Amino acid sequence: MTQAPIISPIIPPIVVSGAGIGGLTTALCLAARGFSVTVVEKRTKLEEVGAGLQLSPNASHILIRLGLGKALARAACAPLSLDVRRGETTDLLARAPLHMMQNRFGAPYWVVHRADLQQILLDHVRGTQGISLQFGRSLSALHHSDQGLEVTITGTSQHETVTAHAVIGADGLHSDLAMLLGDTSKAKASGYQAWRGTLPMSAVSPAFEPQRTTLYLGAQAHGVTYPIRGGEQFNLVMVTREKAHEAGWSRTGDAEALQRKLKSWTALLPLIRQMPDWQVWSLYDRAPRQRWSFGRVTLLGDAAHPVLPFLAQGAALAIEDAACVAHLLAQTPDNPAQAFATYQQIRLPRATRVQETARKNGSIYHLPFPLTLARDLVIRQKGGRLLEDYDWLYGWK
Ligand SMILES: Cc1cc2nc3c(=O)[nH]c(=O)nc-3n(C[C@H](O)[C@H](O)[C@H](O)COP(=O)(O)OP(=O)(O)OC[C@H]3O[C@@H](n4cnc5c(N)ncnc54)[C@H](O)[C@@H]3O)c2cc1C
């Protein structure tokens, strides 16, 4: 059981809506600073959705500071390099070292199964004093009062109104809390479709160098591979342009349709054909919200700023948000509105920069032929210096 410093026994709990990576990390960061926290999650349990996730040093250092380092080091892998290859031929365009991240930024560049990260966060949340985690419950109304906020929490069979010191919405892309706050803007289909699959590492030919992180770039499609589950599994994500749009976190993909889309990727097709099944989902995008903080209420993670996955930073940003908001709340524990205003001021420009960079990467990764030739030439020229422009991203503290 982790003991946390007590800030004030009379401060009511901070309610966090959503137990995704952002919400669970927020609960841990707040508890570490002595706040009591109630996390409400509308699902009745956390499912093993998704596949791999890259955790860059700007996020991994926060998780290590929270005490998750040992568990993550067992579940994650730290690939030696990011290789960039041509999708059609698998020819190497550039190899940028990743193992130097530890020396350069003081924390590793990990790749991990999303379910492993979620389970490790969950185990720590359950082992931390001062956090109450409630499944099958959502926040349905908010009213300001003299003591703080009156928050109505709704479950399947009962409503409950509790006093909260503050409320943090970590309820994802289609945030219900943002709607409650009056932001009715909707995320839009981006026109990209992500296909994700995993294989046992023993089934993958060493010719694909599966222990490295590899970015495959083609015409209007790209793929990313890396090891997960301590190196026992191999993760492959392909992103293609889509005509029709289907919503949803995860649905089964038509393997033959993917193979038809990638018929010119002759060198990688044998690996793509090996995948027993694909989880597919349409990627959404939205313009940065201009306002996240409303008095004692704020938004965080995808609820505030969903990011296209072309910089692998959505979860990382949510983890950064969690550390930042907890730090600021601890500085002015009696004035969450001030902490949340400062939080938005600090985080909004960074989140916007990351969103814009990810969107730009998306355009570059999905260029049509023959523009791909110029792109590949530039990457070849950058070679091992490919990640040198990203100190602003990975060095965030
Ligand atoms: C293909 C793909 C690849 C990606 N790869 C990476 C990567 O490599 N690295 C990276 O950093 N990021 C990556 N991301 C992004 C990352 O997955 C998300 O940015 C991240 O999961 C956001 O976390 P979150 O906690 O903000 O939201 P979510 O993970 O969406 O969690 C929100 C939670 O809130 C709950 N909820 C929703 N509504 C309510 C409500 N009304 N009340 C209570 N609970 C509610 C949901 O059930 C859910 O549990 C990727 C995304 C995609 C699509």
CATH of the domain at 174: 3.50.50.60
Is residue 103 in some structural domain? no
Q: What is the domain extent for residue 272?
A: 188-285+364-394
Is residue 165 in some structural domain? yes
Is residue 159 in some structural domain? yes
The strand pairing partners of 35, in sequence order, are: none
Residues 28, 173: one domain? yes
Give dist(CA 136, CA 374) in Å, integer.
51
CA of 297 to the centre of ligand 1 (A): 19
CA of 206 to the centre of ligand 1 (A): 32
Number of the ligand 1 atom closest to the C-alpha atom of 175: 38
Find where tokens 């609820």 sit: 303
**CA-based max dimension of the chain:** 66
Q: In this structure, are strands 297-299 and 166-169 parallel, antiparallel, or unpaired? A: parallel
Residues 36, 171: one domain? yes
CATH number reported for the structural domain that contains residue 233 in this entry: 3.30.9.30
Query: Catalytic amino acids?
Result: 226
Is residue 105 in some structural domain? no
Query: CA nearest 316: which of 282, 350, 287?
Result: 350
Residues 327, 246: one domain? no
Residue type, 286: R
Give dist(CA 292, CA 290) in Å, integer.
7
The strand pairing partners of 133, in sequence order, are: 39
Residues 388, 242: one domain? yes
Give yes or no for a contact between 46 and 126, defined as CB atoms under 8 angstroms apart.
no
Residues 350, 295: one domain? yes
Residues 168, 29: one domain? yes
Give yes or no for a contact between 187 and 285, defined as CB atoms under 8 angstroms apart.
yes
Is residue 93 in some structural domain? no
Residues 54, 131: one domain? yes
CA of 50 to the centre of ligand 1 (A): 10
Number of the ligand 1 atom closest to the C-alpha atom of 194: 1
Question: Which residue has the CA at smallest separation from atom 48 of ligand 1?
Answer: 20
Q: Compute and round to an integer the Cα radius of gyration of the chain.
A: 21
Total number of domains in the chain: 2
User: What SS3 string covers 237-281?
Assistant: EEEEECCCCCCCCCEECCHHHHHHHCCCCCCCHHHHHHCCCCEEE
3-state helix, strand, coil in the chain (%, to 5): 40, 25, 35
Residue-level pLDDT, tens digit, the chain, 397 residues: 455 565 666 789 999 999 999 999 999 999 999 999 999 999 998 877 778 999 999 999 999 999 999 999 999 999 999 999 999 999 999 999 998 999 999 999 999 999 999 999 999 999 999 999 999 999 999 998 776 799 999 997 788 999 999 999 999 999 999 999 999 888 888 999 999 999 999 999 999 999 999 999 999 999 999 999 999 999 999 999 887 666 555 678 889 999 999 999 999 999 999 999 999 988 998 887 899 999 999 999 999 999 999 999 999 999 999 999 999 999 999 999 999 999 999 999 999 999 999 999 999 999 999 999 999 999 999 999 999 999 999 999 8
Torsions phi, psi for 324 (to 5 deg): -65, -45
Neighbours of 377 (CB within 10 A): 11
Is residue 101 in some structural domain? no
